[in-house]
Amino acid sequence: MSSTMRPFLKVAAVGCLGAGVYKTYPGRQTLLRLCAAHLRQMKKENPDKPLVWVDIGGGTGLNIEEMDKYFPIGDFDSVYLIDLCQPYVYFPA
């Protein structure tokens, strides 16, 4: 892990990252609303097709939590959060 990322990820370990990142992406709500509208249309046109969300680089899972406000997470057949960083919970020895 890069030395510049380490302090950032330590903040995540204490639960502060979500609010900071939320402010970093001011278009998040608009994006999620648009995605939700598209997902509803997809589900209407293909009701038998599985609905799977793969959140790559999902970090703390904030997008998944926020999406639930616009499209119920329970309506997905599967949801995967993939993050390629070391675990957020970091406790130095």
Long-range contacts formed by 20-24: CB under 8 A, 24+ apart: 21/59, 21/60, 21/62, 22/62
68-84 pLDDT, tens digit per residue, is 999 999 999 999 998 87
Q: Confirm whether 58 is domain-assigned.
A: yes
Q: Confirm whether 87 is domain-assigned.
A: no
Question: Is the full-model pTM beyond 0.75?
Answer: no
Please state which of the ranges 3-7, 22-26, 59-63 shows the lowest mean pLDDT.
Answer: 3-7
Tell me, what's the pLDDT at 4? 56
Q: Confirm whether 91 is domain-assigned.
A: no
**Structural domain that includes position 66:** 5-82
Confidence category of residue 9, pLDDT binned at 50, 70, 90: low
pLDDT surpasses 50 at 13: no
- Work out how many domains the chain is built from and give that number: 1
Q: Confirm whether 38 is domain-assigned.
A: yes
61: left (phi over 0), alpha (psi -120 to 50) or beta: left
Q: Confirm whether 89 is domain-assigned.
A: no
